[in-house]
Amino acid sequence: MERRNRQPFGLLLCCLLPLLAPLSHAADDTPASPRVGEFPPPLLGNNRQGQMVDLEQHRGRIVVLTFWASWCGPCMRELPILAQLQKVVGKDALEVIAVNWGEPRADVFAFARRNGKLDLEYVFDGKGETAARYGVRAIPRMLVLGHEGRIASIHVGYSADALPGFMEEIVALLPDEIRNRPPGNAPSP
């Protein structure tokens, strides 16, 4: 008796599998998210001056690339911390690039003007094309790139508890001469 009940289900499954197979390939058409150890897509979008920001221009420094939006509370807590980290380490060794995800250009740069004390490189991604190339589905999303340009780590979300580990990760990526210089001796931008 039990066997008869399973046969219709098995038959139904066999009939549905050919219909579902094309769906499994649909995901293959979307670009894969960059992974740790890989070089990410180099072109990010335009900055406030209208210039294309290219990661190739930042080689030799640690880059913290964060995707954010002004409506994202965790992003608003993260940006000042990243700006302070950049200030303490020095822009010669670490640069934070903040890629806005999907907001109108005027809103992004109005935010940047209002928050001028956050000395960050702001990038506009109004249509979300850069975010799509990076596989961003939730923010904040942060990628840490080593000085050779490869992804050292990827962080999704914000947690104050994770900050000490994140700071240690950044320090470990810094060259000895930067790591060993006295605090406050970073060159002025």
In a domain, 15, yes or no: no
Q: Is residue 157 part of a domain?
A: yes
* pTM of this structure: 0.78
CATH code of the domain containing 81: 3.40.30.10
pLDDT digit string, tens, across residues 130-156: 999 999 999 999 999 999 999 999 999
Q: Identify the pLDDT of residue 121.
A: 92
- Per-residue pLDDT tens for 108-126? 888 888 887 888 999 998 8
Residue 89 domain-assigned (yes or no): yes
The reply to whether 107 falls in a domain is yes
Q: Residue 74 belongs to what domain range?
A: 36-179
Question: Could you tell me which of 61, 67, 104 has the C-alpha nearest to residue 86?
Answer: 61
Asked if residue 5 is part of any domain, the answer here is no
Q: Are the CB atoms for 142 and 65 separated by under 8 Å?
A: yes
Q: How far is CA 55 from CA 3, 4, 44, 62, 137, in A?
A: 61, 62, 8, 11, 21
Is residue 50 included in any domain, yes or no? yes
Question: Do the domain assignments include residue 13?
Answer: no
- 59 burial (CB, 10 Å; 0-12 / 13-18 / 19+) is middle
Residue 4 included in any domain: no
Q: How many domains does the chain have?
A: 1
Integer Cα distance of 58 and 148 in angstroms = 9
